[in-house]
Structures are given as C-alpha cells and as structure tokens.
Structure 1
Amino acid sequence: MESVKIKQLLEAYFEGATSISEEKMLQDYFNNEKVADNLVQYQPIFVALKAAKEERSTMVFNLPETKPQTSKKWWYSVAAILVVAFGVGSFYFSQPSYTQEEKEALATFEKSKRAMMLLSENFNKGTERLTFVGQFERTKDKIFE
C-alpha cells in the first residue's frame, strides 16, 4: 500500500505538483534504509538532494564597501538645471531688438519683396504665352512653304 502511495507521490513530484510536506515524505522514505525494490532507482536522487542541502561553503567573501550615491545624484540635478537655465537665458537674450526705423525698413522690404514676386509670376505667365507664339510661327512657316 505504501509503495503505491509513494509511486503516486513520485509522479506528482516529477510533474512539479507536490507540496512541501509531500516532498518531505518522499525524502524521509528514500533516505531510510527500507526502500522497495521497484523504487530503489529513485533513491540516489533524494540522497543527493539531502547531501546538497547539508553542504556549506567555507569560502569567505570580502565585498567592497560602497559609498552612498545620493550626493552624485544631487549634483547631476543641479547641473541639469543650470544647463536648462543657460539655454533658456541664451534664447531669450539672443532675440534681436529692432529700433522703430529698422522695423519700418523691414516692413518696406517685405512689401517690395511681395511686389517683385507678383511681377515675376506675371512675367512667367507672359513667357508661357510666347512659347505658343513661337509654335504658331513654326506651324505657319510649314503651311506657307
């Protein structure tokens, strides 16, 4: 009867479906001297697990002491604020300030520029029509020849 229960527990153990108390039952059974003949093949697993559980390291680890990093974070924050403030200040103070005379000259320049663009557009329309005249001349010459 016990052998059947142990087989069921082994199947659940290998499926990963056992509780800690069931695993303890398996370890107690297989670390005991009385193991059924058909279950002897599983005994080395649980004997090795018990041995691994009892292993202790004698090696001493020396970890370097670390200093708190809060002071560096604080300085990074201050540096970032200064960079942003410098950028905003540079942008604000680099804006050109024009006198009234310069503003009037710029307005006049913009008006002249618009007038020249209008003249250029009309001139381009006129040259397009001249291509039709040139084509008319060639066609006329072919007809009268």
Structure 2
Amino acid sequence: MESVNVKKILDAYFEGTTSLEEEKRLQDYFNSEKVADDLVQYQPIFAGLKVAKEERSSKAFTLPESKPKTIKTWWYSAAAILVVAFGVGSFYFSQPHYSQEEKEALAAFEKSKNAMMLLSENLNRGAEQLTFVEQFTITKEKIFE
C-alpha cells in the first residue's frame, strides 16, 4: 500500500469516516514490517489496538437478577389515573350549579353593576370639570380684586 493512500485513509480514520475494511487495511499495514518512515509515529496506536483486541478477562462476572418491573409500572399507571380523575372531578364539582332564578339574578346584578360603572365614570368626568370651574373662579376673583 503506498504512503499517500495510507495517509488519506489515516485522515479519514481520525475523522471517523472509514469503513471496517479500510480500518482492517490500516491495522494490517501498521502491524507489518513495511511502514513508511513518516508514518512510524502511528504504529504504536495500532499495535496497542491489536493488543487490546486480543486481551481477555479471567474474572467471572455475574449480573444481579432483576425483578420484573411490571408491578411498579402498573402501580404508577393506577396512581396517575387516580390523580387525573381526582383533578377532573374536583374541577367539575367546584363549578357552581345555579338554578334558573339564580342565573337571572346574576344577569340582573351584572347589568346593574355595568350601569353603576357607567354612572361612576360620568361622575368622575364631571368632577374633573368642576376642578377646572373652581380654578376659573379662583383666578377670576384674583383679577377682579
């Protein structure tokens, strides 16, 4: 394999865009005796990868047995349904239920409240006009004195 081709594959290798076949060719090249002088610096990387690939552990691992989590999932589902049902029920029952007579009384109250607000706004405008009249009176008395 020529040096230029190896450099291209090596650049792609470090960018993570090589295929398994190209990585195998790089490993074969760097684990052989015919490595170019300008690429010798990469030889320990592939030698270390080869050693790590062949490394095996002698320790026996046992994973703890896990209990099925379907019971917990079932309880969470049931609790969520109860919370939602409680929320919907409390919202529904907190809404006031008025008879027809009470609804008519509330409508009349709203109308009278709106009429009172209109009257209050008009009185406030009139009170503002009175301040102008009062100021006019004070100024007129100063002039005629």
TM score, norm. by length of structure 1 = 0.70
| Larger Cα-atom Rg | 1
SS of the equivalent of 1:19 reads helix
Change over 3 Å in CA distance of 1:27–1:132 after alignment to 2: closer
Alpha-carbon shift at residue 137 of structure 1 (Å)? 0.9
Distance 1:133 1:53 in 2: 101
Report the count of equivalent residues: 137
Distance 2:68 2:140 in 1: 95
Distance 1:132 1:83 in 2: 62
Please, which moves more after superposition, 81-90 or 62-71?
62-71
Percent of aligned pairs sharing the same letter: 56
> Cα RMSD between the aligned structures?
3.2
Match of 1:29 in 2: 32
TM score, norm. by length of structure 2 = 0.70
Distance 1:102 1:36 in 2: 97
* Aligned counterpart in structure 2 of residue 14 of structure 1, from 3, 7, 10: 10
SS of the equivalent of 1:76 reads helix
Residues 59-105 of structure 1: CA distance to partner in whole angstroms, max 9, x if unpaired?
Answer: 22232111222222222122111211121122222222234443343
Match of 1:110 in 2: 110
SS of the equivalent of 2:82 reads helix
Change over 3 Å in CA distance of 1:105–1:50 after alignment to 2: closer
Change over 3 Å in CA distance of 1:43–1:102 after alignment to 2: closer
1:41-120 matches, cutoff 5 A: 41=40, 45=44, 46-120=46-120
For structure 2, the residue ranges without an aligned partner over 5 or more in a row are none
Distance 2:137 2:122 in 1: 23
For structure 1, the residue ranges without an aligned partner over 5 or more in a row are none
Change over 3 Å in CA distance of 1:79–1:36 after alignment to 2: closer
Distance 1:38 1:100 in 2: 99
Change over 3 Å in CA distance of 1:143–1:28 after alignment to 2: closer
Match of 1:131 in 2: 131
